[in-house]
Amino acid sequence: MSKHITLENLGAALPPLKHLIDKKAEGVDWNENDPSASGYIRNRPFYSIEEKTNIVSYTNIAIGIDSYVELSANFPLEVGKTYIVTLNGITYECIARYWSDADAVLIGNGTICGYGDGDSGNGEPFSCDYYTDGELYLNANAGDYSISIFHIASDIHKIDSKYLPEDVVTKNDLVAITADQINEICGNTVYLANEVMV
């Protein structure tokens, strides 16, 4: 009687096949999106694109002696996310951090205006702090500014299986594979975890 192997028991039930898969997969990186990198996998059954979400866009902001101005954000800043900030034509990549002194999310140079837990970021000439009530402040030296803030995220899109070649193994194929088929592939006897050898 033939039994089905599920994805949950595939690794434990099929050590010979797992060894073959691991050997074949050495040096590949499914997360690599640079086609020139050594671990890049061509013809993956999915693709990723970078989605750019506009958070803030202002031109001609005047910052006076107080060194800050309140802005309005389309979306909240989130700790750990990467933001692209363009200030007066110069672009900065900033990772949002938690600013405990003010219970706020901070991007840029936290030492601007003498606060930010002493966190200077990457030495940017500005900081932006976002509060849970939706307030967003741009802090910088007095002057006129144009600023835009974008969140960049990779969005992975799976390719519909109808566009894949017939010889590509899919998740559904693995779920439906039987022990007899594995024995044929591996050339030796493989038992499922719930089978008893007699």
Q: How far apart are CA 83 and CA 150, in angstroms?
A: 6
Asked if 70 and 139 sit in the same domain, the reply is yes
Q: Domain residues for 25?
A: 10-45+159-186
Shared-domain flag, residues 98 and 123: yes
pLDDT at 195: 46
pLDDT, tens digit only, all 198 positions of the chain: 445 556 566 556 556 555 555 555 567 776 777 778 877 777 666 666 677 888 888 988 888 877 888 888 888 889 999 899 999 999 999 999 988 878 889 898 888 766 555 667 778 899 888 988 888 889 888 889 999 999 887 777 677 777 767 766 666 666 666 666 766 666 666 555 544 443
User: Which three-class secondary structure state does DSSP give residue 10?
Assistant: helix
The span from the CA of 32 to the CA of 25, in Å, is 14
Put simply, whether the predicted model's pTM sits higher than 0.75 gets the answer no
Q: What burial class does residue 33 get, using C-beta atoms within 10 Å of its C-beta: 0-12 exposed, 13-18 middle, 19+ buried?
A: middle
Asked if residue 192 is part of any domain, the answer here is: no
Task: Domain count for the chain, please give it.
Answer: 2
CATH code, 56: 2.60.320
